[in-house]
Amino acid sequence: MPEPRTLAAFTTLRLGGPAGRLIEVTTEEQALEALRTGGDQLILAGGSNVVVADAGYPGTVVLLRTRGIHTDVRDGVVSLTVAAGHPWDEVVAAAVSRGWSGVESLSGIPGSAGATPIQNVGAYGQEVAETISEVRVFDRDRDEIVTLPAAECGFAYRTSVFKHNARFVVLAVTFRLRVSDRSTPVAYAELARTLGVEPGATAPLEEVRSAVLKLRAGKGMVLDPADPDTWSVGSFFTNPVVPAADFERVRALAAEFGTPPSWPAGDSVKLSAAWLIERAGFAKGHGDLTRGVSLSGKHTLALTNRGSGTTEALLDLARAIRTGVEGRFGVTLHPEPVLVNCAI
């Protein structure tokens, strides 16, 4: 296990050096008091989407441990307000068990509820932006709590107004779900196949959750203390979105492998980062075990700490992959997690 005096103890990668100061808060009042102390601050909750430097973080780290779910059900619509520090999968499990539809395909994602709007968490055809109605935040510039409706959150693919923006600290998130024992239309082909339904059809909530958990576990995307393949930040790189003309160029370069998987993204095309990584020569398990890091043996998008790794070794692996994909296909991959006191 990571040394408890380092931030490695609070991240799913199990990497990261010491904090200048560590404050744990369990209530919103405590959180506000800590946030108002000023100075350089890092907010950590689940630690599932952050890469912390080996040198650690010299400022104050606020461990957000607030919990609680408040519900309001009216006319078949559920308003679900969740404290930022509440574990996300507990929220999904509660919604599914109570027959509330809208987040079932987001099962098994580690981290906290407050992290979901920051990068507009998505998986298997759902994104939280589809169900978030508002986000309660502490606005550091105004030194007050404000509530931002979804339209002001700047949601886009794996990003929002909150990402890489120290002004806002998420305190709570309100989701708008539907009372139904059926899922939203299953948009993701792999999930539809697993469920035995056609894309666009619905399925029982419990079956969708079970199928998603099974798919994620098969890719090492469900945390398991005994499995180093899950000691990661999940997908390290976002799926690149390129102009249509660039897609034609990539398709020509990849002709020996067949047509690259792709999805429409407005006037552009979204590509599969995992597919590009593997075809650029980085297979599952690729890495430098002498430095304690490698790609997951289950999925090429997950960079893992095998137990003896360092942040710098992990970032060196990320740099090699990014350079290899760019050299082979002319596509630049961008990291999905927040990099703290480090860069690639």
Residue positions annotated with a catalytic role: 158, 235, 336
**Are the CB atoms for 272 and 240 separated by under 8 Å?**
no
Spell out the alpha helix ranges (H) of 146-204. Answer: 189-195
Any idea which residue has 């700047």 for tokens? 154
Could you tell me which residues come within 8 angstroms of residue 156 by beta carbon, excluding any fewer than 6 positions away? 120
DSSP string of 214-260? HHHHHTT-S--TT-GGG-S-S-SBPPPEEEHHHHHHHHHHTGGG-SP
Can you list the pairs that 95-98 forms with residues at least 24 positions away whose Cβ atoms lie under 8 Å? 95/177, 96/205, 96/206, 96/208, 96/209
Could you tell me which residues come within 8 angstroms of residue 137 by beta carbon, excluding any fewer than 6 positions away? 145, 146, 147, 148, 162, 168, 169, 170, 171
Residue 123 has a CB neighbour count (10 Å cut-off) of 20
| Buried b / exposed e along 176-209 (16+ C-beta atoms within 10 A) | ebeebebbbebebeebbebbebeeeebbbbebbb
Could you tell me which residues come within 8 angstroms of residue 343 by beta carbon, excluding any fewer than 6 positions away? 315
Could you tell me which residues come within 8 angstroms of residue 239 by beta carbon, excluding any fewer than 6 positions away? 157, 270, 271, 272, 273
How far, in Å, CA of 109 to CA of 112, rounded? Answer: 9
Residue 287, helix vs strand vs coil: strand
Any idea which residue has 């160029």 for tokens? 249
